[in-house]
């Protein structure tokens, strides 16, 4: 294998993740709309459920990473997690089927389905990400570009998911939401089939040894191999992961407004007429993954070329850039809605511009963060540290739901956040400009110290 090509296992993980993400983002595209249009929840309650669900989705990988590291290995964890998620999606299908005939049963099926999705994702997500890094030898410069390619798989799935599930479910008729959930369920089943068929052939190290297997036991006692104590260098590298994870909370809590407050904005205050066709609000969640698929190869090329010339910025600097682009996206849409009266609709270009700028931020932060966890973690702790990485995502997503509850509603009292009154949409979006902008500046300031703590890894 050349030093520029990538192992075939990367593309298997790419396709497996693509269909799992199709399942997740297809459901997410219609989730809050289903709650407010079919189950008749108010927006604040729907936002709270959304935040709790997505927060727990990113909390359970901490448990899933531990289970894989200690007992099952990555492969078995991925398979079990996938089965649980498929069951969860079909429970949502039955919830949608009962929404008008038995609302109480529909609600219980909703909560049960969310529980299955949460548990399954905890086993699936940290372990498939961990396997990407295991395909490469230590210190391989292809790892950042590999995670960027892998990230394209995530976004290829999330690109088509809102279009398919939104077309089937977001039709204006509440009874149709169930078909969107069914499509998401079949996407998860396809992910499982592909992984099961090809995992043994392609998920191997450069030397041909299988990766992602269950931890070895001592033959005589049946106990796990005892882990060696952490060295000082290992401790400082792990500290970098923990510090950067704190900044990730500010990024994702603003970015994940896409599934709640920005969906409300698309539904209520965006002119969605395009050549006589009313664009479903759920379709706007495809703008980000479309942009990722377009721009991810460009970012991968940029990082690779800068790396060859020893000019590539280190991971903390890249992630600070990600927060900067996030703040810029909200600044653009804040300008677009300044002085906007309730009920007045704005051009789709404002929302599209926000999503494109957020994509630039995502490409600077998310695949780089995944790569950072793999590079800095000792092999025996990779799954656990990936779980901790997703723990910060959990806090961010729960916080995102809380922030979405602040979405201004003229029929309700003016919401406040830490004494800041949110009188209108401009005030709401400027909250995220301040939050992401300050976080970006602080991370830039810390980047030199964090680079030293990484001890030669970038």
Sign of CA dihedral 450, 454, 456, 458: negative
Q: Residue 113: which of 207, 198, 23 has the closest Cα?
A: 23
Pair of tokens at residue 202: 């392609």
- Sheet strands (E) in 193-329: 273-274, 277-278
Angle among Cα 32, 37, 41 to the nearest 5 degrees reads 70
CB contact at 8 A, 143 and 80: no
What pLDDT shows up at residue 104? 87
Indicate the pTM of the whole model: 0.80
**What is the pLDDT, as a whole number, of residue 3?**
52
Per the document, the length of the chain is 458
pLDDT at 191: 94
What is the per-residue pLDDT for 221?
Answer: 47
Cβ(115)–Cβ(92) under 8 Å? no
C-beta neighbour count of 114 within 10 angstroms: 22
Q: What is the DSSP string of 336-393?
A: HHTTPPTT--B-HHHHHHHHHHHHHHHHHHHHHHHHHHHHHS-GGGHHHHHHHHHHHH
- pLDDT score at 444: 93
The tens place of each residue's pLDDT in the chain, 458 residues long, gives 445 688 888 999 999 999 999 999 999 989 999 999 999 998 889 989 998 998 898 888 888 888 888 889 889 999 999 999 999 999 999 999 998 888 889 999 999 999 999 999 989 988 887 888 788 887 777 777 787 788 777 778 888 999 999 999 999 899 999 999 999 999 999 999 999 999 988 998 888 888 888 877 644 444 455 767 888 888 888 999 899 989 989 999 999 998 889 998 998 889 999 988 889 998 998 898 888 888 888 887 888 888 888 888 888 899 999 999 999 999 999 999 988 877 789 999 999 999 999 999 998 888 778 778 878 888 777 767 877 787 888 899 899 999 998 998 888 888 889 888 998 899 999 999 999 999 999 999 998 899 888 877 76
pLDDT of residue 142: 79
pLDDT at 141: 73
What DSSP element (H or E) covers 84? helix 73-98
Q: What pLDDT, on a 0 to 100 scale, did the predictor assign at position 120?
A: 95
pLDDT of residue 243: 92
Asked whether the beta carbons of 238 and 377 are under 8 A apart, the reply is: yes
Find the distance separating the first CA and the last CA of the chain, reported in whole Å.
23
């Amino acid at each position: 294998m050349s030093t520029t090509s990538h192992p075939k296992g990367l593309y298997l993980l790419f396709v497996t993740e693509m269909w799992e993400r199709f399942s997740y983002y297809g459901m997410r595209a219609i989730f809050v709309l289903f709650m407010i249009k079919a189950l008749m929840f108010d927006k604040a309650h729907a936002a709270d459920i959304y935040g709790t669900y997505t927060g727990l989705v990113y909390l359970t990988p901490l448990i899933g990473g531990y289970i894989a590291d200690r007992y099952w290995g990555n492969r078995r964890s991925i398979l079990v997690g996938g089965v649980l998620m498929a069951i969860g999606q079909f429970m949502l299908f039955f919830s949608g089927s009962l929404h008008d005939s038995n609302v109480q049963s529909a609600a219980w099926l909703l909560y049960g389905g969310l529980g299955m999705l949460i548990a399954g994702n905890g086993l699936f997500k940290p372990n498939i990400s961990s396997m990407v890094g295991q395909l490469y030898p230590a210190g391989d410069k292809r790892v950042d570009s590999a995670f960027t390619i892998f990230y394209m798989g995530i976004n290829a799935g999330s690109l088509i998911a809102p279009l398919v599930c939104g077309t089937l479910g977001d039709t204006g008729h509440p009874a149709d939401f169930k078909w969107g959930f069914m499509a998401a369920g079949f996407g998860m089943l396809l992910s499982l089939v592909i992984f099961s068929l090809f995992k043994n052939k392609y998920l191997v190290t450069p030397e041909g040894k299988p990766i992602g297997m269950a931890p070895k036991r001592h033959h005589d006692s049946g106990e796990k191999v005892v882990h060696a104590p952490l060295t000082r260098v290992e401790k400082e590298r792990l500290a970098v992961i923990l510090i950067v994870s704190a900044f990730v909370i500010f990024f994702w809590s603003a970015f994940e407004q896409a599934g709640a407050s920005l969906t409300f904005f698309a539904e209520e205050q965006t002119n969605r007429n395009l050549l006589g066709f009313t664009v479903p609000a759920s379709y706007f969640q495809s703008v980000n993954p479309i942009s990722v698929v377009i721009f991810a190869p460009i970012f991968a090329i940029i990082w690779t070329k800068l790396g060859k010339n020893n000019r590539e910025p280190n991971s903390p600097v890249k992630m600070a850039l990600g927060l900067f682009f996030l703040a810029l996206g909200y600044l653009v849409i804040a300008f677009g809605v300044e002085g906007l009266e309730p009920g007045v609709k704005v051009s789709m270009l404002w929302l599209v511009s926000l999503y494109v700028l957020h994509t630039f931020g995502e490409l600077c932060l998310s695949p780089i963060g995944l790569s950072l966890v793999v590079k800095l973690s000792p092999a025996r702790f990779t799954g656990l540290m990936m779980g901790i990485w997703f723990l910060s995502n959990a806090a961010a997503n729960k916080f995102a739901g809380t922030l979405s509850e602040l979405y201004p509603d003229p029929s309700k009292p003016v919401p406040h956040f830490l004494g800041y009154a949110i009188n209108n949409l401009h005030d709401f979006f400027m909250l995220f400009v301040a939050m992401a902008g300050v976080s970006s500046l602080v991370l830039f300031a810390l980047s030199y110290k964090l680079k030293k703590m990484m001890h030669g890894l970038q």
